[in-house]
Amino acid sequence: MQIETVTRPDHFKVPVTVGDYVLKSKLGEGSFSIVWKAEHKLSGQEVALKQVYPSRLNRQLRNCFDCELNFLSSVNHPNIVRLFDVFRVRDIILFLCSCRPSFYSVILLNMGLS
């Protein structure tokens, strides 16, 4: 798996491509992860790519993260994102999920909630 990087003015390295995916925009950021909107180079399929930094996780958060992955890998429901793949690049864990607005997320956005 290859990651290309570019340098931004704030001196952080931001991946531009991850394997067969091109990062399009940042969807959100938390204390230990960033979620990107990405697109498969060949198929054009849009996915959410969650970039997790395990070094920032304490034991409890690591357990929550493991539970999240186990849950997503076992569920198939139209209103829950579908987990496609999980992989590690250097010290970063990445996982790909479906990236399409669910019925409920559209309602929340229309209400001004996110």
Long-range contact set of residues 82-88: C-beta below 8 Å, sequence gap at least 24 = 84/47, 87/1, 87/19
- Rounded CA separation 73/21 (Å): 20
Q: Which of 77, 63, 109, 112 lies closest to 97, judged by CA?
A: 77
Q: Is 50 annotated as a binding residue?
A: yes
Query: Using the 8-state DSSP alphabet, how is residue 82 labeled?
Result: P
Give the torsion through C-alpha atoms of 72, 48, 52, 86, to 10 deg: 50
Q: Binding site: residue ranges? A: 50
* Binding-site annotation, residues for ATP: 50
